[in-house]
Amino acid sequence: MFEPALDWPEMTMRLLISFFLGLLVGLERETHDRPAGLRTHALVCLGSCVFMLTSAAVAGRNFDPGRIAAGVVAGIGFLGAGTIMRHGNWVTGLTTAASIWCAAAIGVAVGAGWVQLALAAGLLVYVALRGLKPLAEHVAHRGHYPQMNLVVADAAVLGPLTEALQEVGSELREVQLSPKEKKKQLALVAAISVPPTISPDVLLAVVRAVEGVSKASWVE
């Protein structure tokens, strides 16, 4: 048996801080129905902290925080990659993967005793996820494209939908989950470019003709 390098109250405090900072980051992802939400981010942050605390206790004076941090960064990449999906030209999950990566970094910082750094990082990550979204949408000129409400069988429909739109000169610019819940189906809000050579009604008919699309209507 080995003796912990820190007393139990100190270790408990660090575990709680990492847990709640992970919850803070995961809260924003959970509200947008992303693949990784509250529990995933809390566990990633907590687990990273445990790695640091355990390694410090086992290694003692030979503790090398750089090696532990490098191992966490390399290992967390597999979990983050699992949240990334691609359907044709449409890719989603990149922001969630980045937030998982940041949650691991916050946990490592707390485990190493850099609580102030972890608190600042957790706040900045939350601001980036919540506060920068309107700015990102503005820069991407999302508002220049009309939006369509869609109900599809599953995410795999987005591939054929993208191809059907490209055939008529249109493009699927952005897709988000709709707040409306649908059992066994996905309710989406899609930003779609309307080329000058085709009317919105014709484009709507093209979308409705795609297999797997059960409902489609323009957002008023």
Q: What is the mean pLDDT of each run of 10 residues along the chain (220 residues)?
A: 65 90 82 71 87 73 66 70 57 76 88 86 86 64 70 87 89 74 75 83 91 87
Return the structure tokens found at 160: 């054929």
Question: Is 1 among the domain residues?
Answer: no
Q: Cα–Cα distances in Å, from 75 out to 78, 105, 156, 198?
A: 6, 12, 28, 48
Contact 127, 161 (CB under 8 A): no
Predicted confidence (pLDDT) per residue in 53-83, tens digit: 877 776 666 656 666 767 776 777 666 666 6
- Give buried/exposed letters for 45-68 (b at 16+ CB in 10 A, else e): bbbbbbbbbbbbeeeeeeeebeeb
Q: How many residues does the chain have?
A: 220
The DSSP result for 48-82, as a single string, is HHHHHHHHHHHHGGG--HHHHHHHHHHHHHHHHHT
Looking at residue 113, the DSSP 8-state letter turns out to be T
My answer on whether 126 and 178 are in the same domain is: no
pLDDT confidence of residue 16: 92
Geometric angle at alpha carbon 220, from 164 and 150, rounded to 5°: 35
* Nearest by Cα to 38 from 23, 49, 53: 23
Looking at residue 143, the DSSP 8-state letter turns out to be G
My answer on whether 19 and 126 are in the same domain is: yes
My answer on whether 114 and 149 are in the same domain is: no
Return the structure tokens found at 4: 């912990």
131, 158, 173 - which closes a domain: 131
pLDDT confidence of residue 100: 86
Predicted confidence (pLDDT) per residue in 141-161, tens digit: 444 578 888 888 888 888 899
My answer on whether 32 and 125 are in the same domain is: yes
* Residues of the domain holding 72: 8-131
Question: Is 74 among the domain residues?
Answer: yes
Percent of the chain at pLDDT > 90 equals 7
pLDDT confidence of residue 205: 92
My answer on whether 39 and 114 are in the same domain is: yes
pLDDT confidence of residue 94: 73
My answer on whether 16 and 81 are in the same domain is: yes
pLDDT confidence of residue 60: 62
Question: Is 117 among the domain residues?
Answer: yes
My answer on whether 82 and 14 are in the same domain is: yes
Q: What is the CATH number of the domain that holds 150?
A: 3.30.70.260
pLDDT confidence of residue 174: 76
78, 100, 131 - which closes a domain: 131
Question: Is 212 among the domain residues?
Answer: yes
My answer on whether 23 and 127 are in the same domain is: yes
My answer on whether 89 and 146 are in the same domain is: no
My answer on whether 122 and 148 are in the same domain is: no
pLDDT confidence of residue 113: 84
Number of domains in the chain: 2
My answer on whether 79 and 168 are in the same domain is: no
My answer on whether 95 and 171 are in the same domain is: no
79, 99, 131 - which closes a domain: 131
pTM: 0.54
Return the structure tokens found at 207: 């979308």
Task: Give the C-alpha separation, 22 to 25, whole Å.
Answer: 5
Three-class SS state of 92 = strand
